Amino acid sequence: MRDQRPASVDPALWRGLTQSRTTRRSILQRAAALAALGVASGCGVSGSSAGSSSSGRDWSAWWAKQPKTDQLVWANWPYYIDTNKSGSKHPSIDRFTAKTGIHVTYDEVIQDYAGFYGKISLELKAGQGTGYDMIMMGPNYYEFTELIRNGWVIPLDHSRLPNFAKYASPSLKNPVYDRGNKYGIVWQSGFTGIGYNPKLTGRELTSISDLWDPKFSGHIGMFNDPVDVGCFGLLKNGVNPATATHADWSKAAATLQEQRPHVRQYYGQPYITALQQGDLWITQAYSPDIFQSNLKGYKDLKFFYPPEGAMFWHDCMMIPAHSKNPVSALEWMNFAYDPSAAAEITDWVGAVCSVPAAKPVIANHLDDAAVANSPLVFPTSSDLKSARDYPIFANYDDFSRWNSTFSPIIQS
């Protein structure tokens, strides 16, 4: 992690400003989506499944017809790829261009998935292209399932992804959210576990029950996303979130209600600032945030995978319908799973690396033991044992039921 973000911008602040659900930018983006919906609703609101087109198509024939192009338009989050000091260049993208001749238009446009989905869904519903050849989406968001259910993403041609077959971590293959990795492969991953400051808690923590400890009352943080909150309620009750029943959901909601009086706040991304400032002693946390905090000088902060389970999240690369350069997108996906490219990107981003073979490259060639030996970047097999998948909602009603079970805890 020698090549850090621009020194003048505190990454946590930057993330807080650009990525959380509460930022002004995302608010403006949402306002735009709202305005668009307002116009659309003038003549009724049609369902998203109406535009469905992917089922029953011969996709191998479709792929065979796709020409090679020299362009790739990619929508990603800010600060989610290796960047040089001035912030203008992405060395891995430059190497990709030199190798393949494909020019990449890299657009750091995603501030939050709900807002981004709101924007592209209007275009996809109208049967138009989004302008992107590759987008990101997190499987733990219902929008991921919606993209697939609506036929708005193109099934991948795995014959052109040999590096994925060869180098991808086994934990990323054939996942429950997308059997056979049909529609997307993982860009980076991370864990939702527990972050804490041992100086303030006064002891080492080991269990998810510590989030329910009244001794930390007023200094316990939880996320404001119903899915993240609900999953921790289920884990506390010893239930696997991915296979939980509706009855389990209700019980988890009751467990979370018991915790609520001790919770300081249900946070978006700014939780990390609150933890760094000492407002929070213990909180739900994303592993890359704690990793970055440690590097930035908040060395007291610790992260652990609770033995009851930690939620394993991903950001997947997908090809939206009507992409003009789908072959280039596959080309990039394959490139990203090359161990040297993965090493270069991971060394900068610091999230969980999709390519275990990148570890020796980072240790030896990039000479960065702090990253290579971090369990937050290359989790051990016992860490991966506590990894739990997010629930995948069968349909909107299921998703809606989850929200009405867990939202009242957050929206108190």
Partner 1 sequence: MAESGVIEPAPPASHLTTGRRLQRASTPYLLSLPSWVYLIVFFVVPLLSVLALAVATGNPEIGYSYTGHVSQFWTAVDTYHVQLVRSFWYGIASTVIALAIAYPVAYWIAFYGGRHKSTYLFLVLLPFFVSFIIRTLAWEFILSDQGLVLGHLKDWGLLSQNFHVLSTSWAVIWGLTYNSLPFYVLPLYVAIERIDRRVVRAANDLYADTPRAFMRVIFPLSAPGVFAGFLLVFVTNVGDYVNQQVLGGTGTYMIGSVIQDSFFTNQDYPMASALSAVLMLILVVAIFLYARTFGADSIQEYSA
Q: At what angle do helices 24-40 and 113-125 cross, to 10 degrees?
A: 30
For the bound state, the minimum distance from the C-beta of residue 203 to partner 1, rounded and expressed in Å, comes to 16
Cα Rg, the chain, nearest whole Å: 21
Pair 36, 122: CB distance under 8 Å: yes
C-alpha–C-alpha distance, residues 410 and 412, integer Å: 5
d(CA 322, CA 271): 38
C-beta atoms surrounding 221 within 10 Å: 27
Which lies closer to partner 1 via its Cβ, residue 26 or residue 83? Answer: 26
Residues that bind partner 1 (CB under 8 A): 13, 16-17, 21-24, 27, 30, 34-35, 37-39, 41-42, 44-50, 114-115, 118, 146, 149-150, 218-219, 224-226, 260-261, 263-266, 268, 270, 273-274, 277-279, 395-397, 400, 403, 407, 410-412
Give the span between the Cα atoms of 133 and 40, in whole angstroms. 25
Question: Minimal distance in Å, beta carbon 40 to partner 1?
Answer: 8
The least CB distance from residue 270 to partner 1, in Å, is 7
In the complex with partner 1, which residue's Cβ is closer, 225 or 347?
A: 225
Closer Cβ to partner 1, 373 or 412, answer by number? 412
Whichever of 286 and 402 has its CB closer to partner 1, that residue is 402
Name the residue nearer to partner 1 (CB basis): 88 or 277: 277
User: Shortest gap between Cβ of 2 and partner 1 (angstroms)?
Assistant: 29
List phi, psi (to 5°) of 220: -105, 130
Minimal distance, residue 53 CB to partner 1, in Å = 15
Closest to partner 1 by CB, 134 or 256:
256
- Which positions ≥6 away from 330 have C-beta within 8 Å? 156, 157, 160, 161, 319
Picking from 67, 91, 72, 141, the residue whose alpha carbon sits closest to that of residue 315 is: 141
Q: How far is the CB of 146 from partner 1 (least distance, A)?
A: 7
Neighbours of 67 (CB within 10 A): 7
* Contact partners, residue 355, CB within 8 Å, separation at least 6: 167, 168, 169, 337, 338, 339, 342, 343, 346
C-beta of 88 vs 411, nearer to partner 1: 411
| Least distance to partner 1, CB of residue 326, Å | 25
